[in-house]
Copies of this chain bind each other. A is one copy, B any other.
Amino acid sequence: MAEITWTEYQHRIKEESPVVLIPVGALEQHGPHLPMGTDHLIPTAISRLVAEEVAAIVAPPFNYGYKSQPRMGGGNHFCGTTSLDGHTLSIMLRDVIKEFARHGVRRIAVMDGHYENMMFLIEGIDLALRELRYEGIHDLKILRIEYWDFTSNETLTKVFPDGFPGYALEHAAVMETSMSLYLHPHLVRLEKLPDDPPADFPPYDVYPLNPAWTPASGVLSPAHGASADKGKNLIDEYVQRIATALKDEFPGI
Name A's B-contacting residues (CB within 8 A): 1-7, 9-10, 13, 27, 29-37, 40-41, 59-64, 66-67, 69, 78-88, 90-92, 95-96, 99-100, 103-104, 116, 118-120, 122-123, 125-127, 129, 131, 133-135, 141-146, 149-150, 187, 189, 192, 202-208, 218, 245, 249
Q: How far is the CA of A5 from the CA of B100 in the complex (A)?
A: 34
Nearest Cβ on chain B to A33's Cβ, whole angstroms = 7
Known contacts being A129-B208, A142-B206, is A41 close to B249, with CB within 8 Å? Answer: no
What is the chain B residue whose CB lies nearest that of A33? Answer: B5
Known contacts being A83-B95, A87-B90, A205-B144, is A187 close to B30, with CB within 8 Å? Answer: no
Known contacts being A5-B30, A27-B1, A88-B95, is A143 close to B206, with CB within 8 Å? Answer: yes
A203 in complex: contacting residue of B41, B80, B149, B207, CB < 8 Å: B149
Cβ of A145: which chain B residues have Cβ within 8 Å of it?
204
Q: How far is the CA of A230 from the CA of B242 in the complex (A)?
A: 40
Could you pull out 19 A-B pairs where Cβ atoms are within 8 angstroms? A3-B35, A4-B36, A5-B34, A9-B36, A40-B60, A60-B64, A63-B63, A79-B104, A82-B96, A82-B100, A86-B87, A86-B119, A129-B208, A133-B134, A134-B135, A143-B207, A144-B204, A203-B245, A204-B245
Q: How far is the CA of A99 from the CA of B82 in the complex (A)?
A: 5
Q: How far is the CA of A122 from the CA of B218 in the complex (A)?
A: 20
Cβ of A150: which chain B residues have Cβ within 8 Å of it?
203
Cβ of A202: which chain B residues have Cβ within 8 Å of it?
245
Nearest Cβ on chain B to A119's Cβ, whole angstroms = 4
Q: How far is the CA of A2 from the CA of B43 in the complex (A)?
A: 14
A84 in complex: contacting residue of B80, B96, B149, CB < 8 Å: B96
Cβ of A207: which chain B residues have Cβ within 8 Å of it?
122, 125-126, 129, 141-144
B85 near A123: Cβ-Cβ < 8 Å = yes
Q: How far is the CA of A189 from the CA of B1 in the complex (A)?
A: 15
A2 near B87: Cβ-Cβ < 8 Å = no
Known contacts being A63-B60, A119-B116, A135-B133, is A6 close to B78, with CB within 8 Å? Answer: yes
Q: How far is the CA of A67 from the CA of B95 in the complex (A)?
A: 11
Nearest Cβ on chain B to A141's Cβ, whole angstroms = 7
A9 near B205: Cβ-Cβ < 8 Å = no
Cβ of A66: which chain B residues have Cβ within 8 Å of it?
119
Nearest Cβ on chain B to A152's Cβ, whole angstroms = 10
